[in-house]
Structure 1
Amino acid sequence: MPFVFAFFVVLVLFATLVLARTIRIVPQARAGIVERFGKYRATLQPGLNIVTPFVDRVRYVIDMREQVVSFPPQPVITEDNLVVSIDTVIYFQVTDPVAATYEIANYIQAIEQLTMTTLRNIVGGMDLEQTLTSREDINRGLSSVLDEATGRWGVRVGRVEIKGIDPPPSIKDSMEKQMRADRDKRAAILTAEGQRQSAILTAEGNKQAAILNAEGNREAVILRAQADRESAILRAQGEGQAIQTVFQAIHDGQPDQALLAYQYLQMMPKIAEGDANKVWVVPSEITKALEGLGSAVHEVSGIPKHTGGPRTRVDMGSMERVEVGGSDPSLSKAHQDVKDAIAAAEASAAGGPISTPTADAPSSDAPDAAPPAAGPPSAG
């Protein structure tokens, strides 16, 4: 009985081992390489697969997805004998798992070494400036060489990227200084061009402003001269018309000696009204002053002492003809005062006594004549 139980246990274990060796599960995007007695037999696809136990063996499981490998910086010498460090990134995918297993021992290491040698060949024909500015050319050259070499390994290189190109520290410092000097030069050039453009525009603006100011001054002078000319013409015409009007009014009014004496007496208070006249001396002998006045008035040639007939008073507002000596008592009184003053001056000159006439009683020495014109004094 114990022997039977032990045999049964051994049989179950053997069946389990055989089943485990027979059924193989391959994950998605993987491929299994099966060998029989050390020789390639088949490639297992993703999923459940059955192999011959103890005869077939799954040696490799190859990842069929696209993979990314970053290689460490590699020193590369340029054409101008400068050592630069270049980092590369390779994107590849296994297309033939059998070739990737049996054509190359380690395809990742092979790709790395091939990348290094190809990169040195490409960069060795470029100087530092071209190396730094020709990354696309380096990528295309690497991709073409690697894709052609790795095709027989069952590997397809999809993309090659240059992560970084690091020149030596001294070269970096020199490049920074050169770049700084170049930018300073461009900044100085742009500043000079800006100042030149500004000066040109400022000069053009000043020129245009000067031209416009000159034109404006010329037009202003012309207009001012025309205005002065028209003003002088109008002023002369006004003065001429005023003189003609006054002259015509004087002739129409027919003035006599009494009117001129009255005008002279009216001007005497105005002499004292000026601000510059601080002191005004009144003559002590008023009779001699009146005598001189009377003699001066009598000596004016061409003006009659008395005129006969009615007089015409010039009124610029209504131009009405008014007979003097009629209805205006104030004008008659003023005219009578003038006649009394003239009579007193004549009597004083003759050596007679000076009478003091009043407004109500006219002097008997006043000559009998027609009433003189009592209109407003003309502005002669």
Structure 2
Amino acid sequence: MAETVLIALVAIVVLFVVIALAKSIKIIPQAHTGLVERLGRYKESLGAGPHLIVPFIDRVRYVIDMREQVVSFPPQNVITEDNLGVSIDTVIYFQVTDPVAATYEIGNYITAVEQLTMTTVRNIVGGMDLEETLTSRDSINAGLASVLDEATGRWGLKAKRVEIKSIDPPVSIRDAMEKQMRADRDKRASILTAEGERQSAILTAEGNKQSAILNAEGQRESQILRAQADRESQILRAQGEGQAIQTVFQAIHDGRPDQSLLAYQYLQMMPKIAEGESNKLWIVPSEIGKALEGLGSTLTNMEGIPQQVDGPRTRVEMGPGAAPDVDAELRKTNAAVEQAIAAAESAARPGRPATPADTDPAVGPGEVPPTT
């Protein structure tokens, strides 16, 4: 019986020792700090690693995370200066710098930071209108960080950064803003289109002006050149006609024309008299010889044309091999004309035998042909 009691006492002692050792050894994780209380009062702070404390007297009441923490708060409805409600989401980046103050100066520092953030955002946004609120994220962040840093310093916290995730106005306001934005964009598009059309019209007018100026200058130069060409052409034509007249006049005087030349020119014009589509029959009168004699006598008496020309004739150089025999041509022409007259007279008196004068151009009318 005594042995059983002894064994039970030894077991109790061993169990107590094990429990005491378990309570005296504490392991603190990395980047954390343990707060030790002795009989309910703060004693010391334990860093990362194993530590020995007095069991049943000391205990690690809190283990504080010393890393930077990120807390995202739910959207909060905030009223702007122009009485419009907006929903704002915030994100806080903070770090515990004093674990004792964070534990004993505030009951729940995360809740305290959330509430402080809400009130600060309402104070800042309450002094802005909707448009300024939507475009002043940086100023809101700066004001919120300044207030949080000042208020949380005594809580052992350090607000690293404060960010506004989103600012959502009401649905009706968003629709109105979209319409306003669309109208503004349409107005800017219309302005840009009008400016483009104006620039296009200006450039087109300038181009037309330059084109008209260039066309006028081109027409003026063309008219000037055409007038100069006409003038030069008329001058050259007049000079050519003058030289031709001078050459013909000089040739006539050099040739010293007489009655035979005038008769030859008249005989050359007789075939042209018969030309024409309406001339079907040409009757040569028997008195043509007398007419020619009268014409010759009339032309002989013309002023400036001598009856006979004495002295040698001056011929116009026609080029090598081009000087015609004028006398031979004249004789042939006279013979042809006389033969044509005789044939016409024979046809006019039928039944009369043809005489040698009708066929021989060398025998005149009423003459006897020579015998061989």
2:134 counterpart residue number: 132
Whole-Å separation in 1 of the counterparts to 2:237 and 2:251: 20
SS for the counterpart of 2:163 is strand
Spell out, residue by residue over 1:4-24, the C-alpha distance to the aligned partner (whole angstroms, 9 max, x if none). Answer: 887777666555444433333
1:356 counterpart residue number: 359
What is the TM-score with the length of structure 2 in the denominator? 0.81
CA RMSD of superposed structures (Å): 3.5
Quickly say closer, same or farther: Cα 1:252–1:355, change in 2 above 3 A. farther
1:338 counterpart residue number: 333
> What is the Cα deviation at residue 266 of structure 1?
4.2
Quickly say closer, same or farther: Cα 1:252–1:282, change in 2 above 3 A. farther
Spell out, residue by residue over 1:280-329, the C-alpha distance to the aligned partner (whole angstroms, 9 max, x if none). Answer: 434132755676456434432243465444433323546x996x75xxxx
Alignment of 1:146-157 (within 5 A): 146-157=148-159
Question: What amino acid is the match of 1:212?
Answer: L
Whole-Å separation in 2 of the counterparts to 1:60 and 1:216: 101
1:87 counterpart residue number: 89
1:378 counterpart residue number: none
1:37 counterpart residue number: 39
Quickly say closer, same or farther: Cα 1:343–1:64, change in 2 above 3 A. same
Whether the 8 Å CA contact 1:111–1:146 is kept in 2: the answer is yes
Question: What amino acid is the match of 2:295?
Answer: A
Whole-Å separation in 2 of the counterparts to 1:305 and 1:346: 25
Spell out, residue by residue over 1:153-184, the C-alpha distance to the aligned partner (whole angstroms, 9 max, x if none). Answer: 11111111111111111111222222222222
Quickly say closer, same or farther: Cα 1:336–1:191, change in 2 above 3 A. same
Whether the 8 Å CA contact 1:312–1:321 is kept in 2: the answer is no
Whether the 8 Å CA contact 1:79–1:126 is kept in 2: the answer is yes
Structure 2 gaps, min length 5: 347-354, 366-372
Alignment of 1:1-380 (within 5 A): 14-266=16-268, 277-285=276-284, 292=291, 295-300=294-299, 301=302, 302-304=304-306, 306-317=308-319, 333-341=328-336, 354-357=357-360, 363=362
SS for the counterpart of 2:100 is helix
What is the TM-score with the length of structure 1 in the denominator? 0.79
Whole-Å separation in 2 of the counterparts to 1:25 and 1:291: 169
Whole-Å separation in 2 of the counterparts to 1:365 and 1:85: 144
Whether the 8 Å CA contact 1:249–1:314 is kept in 2: the answer is yes
Whether the 8 Å CA contact 2:27–2:48 is kept in 1: the answer is yes
SS for the counterpart of 2:250 is helix
Quickly say closer, same or farther: Cα 1:83–1:339, change in 2 above 3 A. same
Structure 1 gaps, min length 5: 326-330, 367-380
Whether the 8 Å CA contact 2:274–2:282 is kept in 1: the answer is no
1:372 counterpart residue number: none
Quickly say closer, same or farther: Cα 1:205–1:321, change in 2 above 3 A. closer
Whole-Å separation in 2 of the counterparts to 1:112 and 1:25: 32
Whole-Å separation in 2 of the counterparts to 1:167 and 1:312: 123
Whether the 8 Å CA contact 1:25–1:48 is kept in 2: the answer is yes
Question: What amino acid is the match of 1:204?
Answer: E
Whole-Å separation in 2 of the counterparts to 1:354 and 1:278: 33
2:349 counterpart residue number: none
Whether the 8 Å CA contact 1:291–1:345 is kept in 2: the answer is no
- Percent identity reads 65
Question: What amino acid is the match of 2:176?
Answer: S
Whether the 8 Å CA contact 2:120–2:144 is kept in 1: the answer is yes
